[in-house]
C-alpha cells in the first residue's frame, strides 16, 4: 500500500530535513552545495522544491522542479530508504509533473548520472523514455 503523503512546497525551515534526505539518498555530489541548491530553487520564479511529508510530519520524499521557459526539469527525486517501494517516488514525480502542467509546460526531462542507471527502470515505470541526446555543460560559477 502506498505511503500516505502530504506534498507541499518546501519552507525555509525544511532545509535541514531536505538535505538530510538528499544525503541519505546519496544525491549530494561533491561539486554541489545542497543548501545553496535548495535556497536557489525556492527563490526562483520558475522553480521550487516539493516535499512529501508523512503523517508524523517527517520529510520522506522530495523533488526539485523548474522550467526554463521551454522544458520542465526534475532534480533531487528522493524517497527515504525505509519507505522505498511504497509509492513515495511515484507521488513526488507526479506532483512535479502537475506543477509543470499547471504552468503550461508540456514535457518533463531529467538527467540520470552514469553511475545511477539502476533508476532508469523506475522512471520507465512512470512513463519516461531514454532520449538519445548529448548533454553538454559548462560551469559558470555562482555569484551572490
Ligand atoms: C528512485 C527512487 C526515488 C524510487 O522511489 P520509491 O519510493 O522506491 O519508488 P515507488 O515506490 O514510487 O516506485 C514506483 C514504481 O517504480 C518501481 N521501482 C522503484 N524503484 C525501482 C528500481 N530501482 N528499478 C525498477 N523499478 C523500480 C516500483 O516497483 C513501482 O512500480 P509499480 O508502478 O509497479 O508500483 C528511490 O529509489 C530513491 O530515492 N533512490 C535514491 C535517489 C535517486 O537515485 N534518485 C533519482 C536521481 S535521478
pLDDT tens digits, one per residue of 72-109 = 999 999 999 999 999 999 999 999 999 999 999 999 99
Nearest residue CA, atom 34 of ligand 1? 125
What pLDDT score does 142 carry? 77
Cα separation values, 141 from 16, 67, 70, 113, 138, Å: 24, 20, 23, 21, 9
* Torsion over CA: 79, 129, 31, 72 (sign): negative
pLDDT tens digits, one per residue of 57-69 = 999 999 999 999 9
Lookup: cell for 131: 532520449
119 lines ligand 1 (CB under 6 A): yes
Pick from 22, 87, 125 the residue to mutate for probing ligand 1's pocket: most ligand atoms within 8 Å of its CB: 125
Pick from 1, 32, 85, 118 the residue to mutate for probing ligand 1's pocket: most ligand atoms within 8 Å of its CB: 85
Kindly give the distance from the C-alpha atom of residue 71 to the centroid of ligand 1, in angstroms, as a whole number.
23
The C-alpha angle with vertex 67 and arms to 57 and 26, in degrees rounded to 5, equals 50
What pLDDT score does 12 carry? 98
How would residue 144 be classed by pLDDT, with cut points 50, 70 and 90? Answer: low
Q: In angstroms, how far is the first alpha carbon of the chain from the final one?
A: 45
Amino acid at each position: 500500500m502506498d505511503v500516505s503523503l502530504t506534498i507541499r512546497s518546501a519552507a525555509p525551515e525544511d532545509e535541514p530535513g531536505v538535505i538530510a534526505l538528499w544525503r541519505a539518498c546519496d544525491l549530494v555530489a561533491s561539486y554541489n552545495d545542497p543548501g545553496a541548491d535548495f535556497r536557489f530553487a525556492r527563490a526562483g520564479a520558475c522553480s521550487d522544491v516539493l516535499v512529501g511529508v508523512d503523517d508524523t510530519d517527517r520529510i520522506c520524499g522530495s523533488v526539485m522542479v523548474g522550467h526554463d521557459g521551454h522544458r520542465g526539469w526534475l532534480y533531487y527525486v528522493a524517497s527515504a530508504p525505509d519507505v522505498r517501494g511504497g509509492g513515495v517516488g511515484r507521488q513526488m514525480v507526479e506532483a512535479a509533473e502537475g506543477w509543470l502542467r499547471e504552468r503550461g509546460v508540456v514535457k518533463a526531462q531529467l538527467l540520470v548520472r552514469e553511475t545511477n542507471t539502476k533508476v532508469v527502470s523506475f522512471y520507465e515505470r512512470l512513463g519516461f523514455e531514454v532520449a538519445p541526446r548529448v548533454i553538454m555543460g559548462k560551469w559558470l560559477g555562482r555569484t551572490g
